[in-house]
Amino acid sequence: MSRAFLKVSPTSTQTILITGCTSGIGRALIKEYAAMGHNVIGCGRRVDRLEKLKEELSNYSGRHIFLPCDTSDYESVLQFRDRLYEKNVDIDVLIANAGISLRPKALWEISNCDFDRIVQTNLNGVFYTFRAFVPTMIEMSCRPGSRKFKHNSYPAGWPITNKSPLTNITIYYF
């Protein structure tokens, strides 16, 4: 995994939230960032895999939190967010990674129901995650003495704010 790909400081500990951490890219990122000494927070739908990941990272330093969340369901995302804020978690980096695919089917072979599930998770899930977490990330970056963050990505070309000079939070989505 290239440390330059997702520009996370290797020298200062950051709290990194990754959705869809139970497999694939999300799982690899969680393990990489935990190995670098960062605090990692992960969510996914499969509780058994979250528990296994928590167990695997128990020897790493830092604060590691794994909670169930279905990012295709806005209420689930809000509950996840609220549980984190109850634990006084401040997020430095948000990686909206959760997604599903129905390989090896070609696009025209996917049923309408399956396509709707893909859009609900892969598109709406990113929107729900941003909507739930980004306002607080912006607010936290404005506090005196707070860490400053860099904004690296715009979903579908939309800026986080259209009038604010706040372009100092880190958000990635896949």
- Tell me the fold of 15-173: Rossmann fold (3.40.50)
Give the type of residue at 121.
T
- From the number of C-beta atoms within 10 Å of its C-beta (0-12, 13-18, 19+), residue 96 rates as buried
Cα–Cα–Cα angle for 18, 37, 148, nearest 5°? 65
- The ranges assigned to domains in the chain are 15-173
Residue pointed to by tokens 């960032």: 33
pLDDT in tens, the chain (174 residues): 444 445 566 667 889 999 999 999 999 999 999 999 999 999 999 999 999 999 999 999 889 999 999 999 999 999 999 999 999 999 988 999 999 887 778 888 889 999 999 999 999 999 999 999 988 888 877 666 555 544 444 444 444 444 443 444 455 554
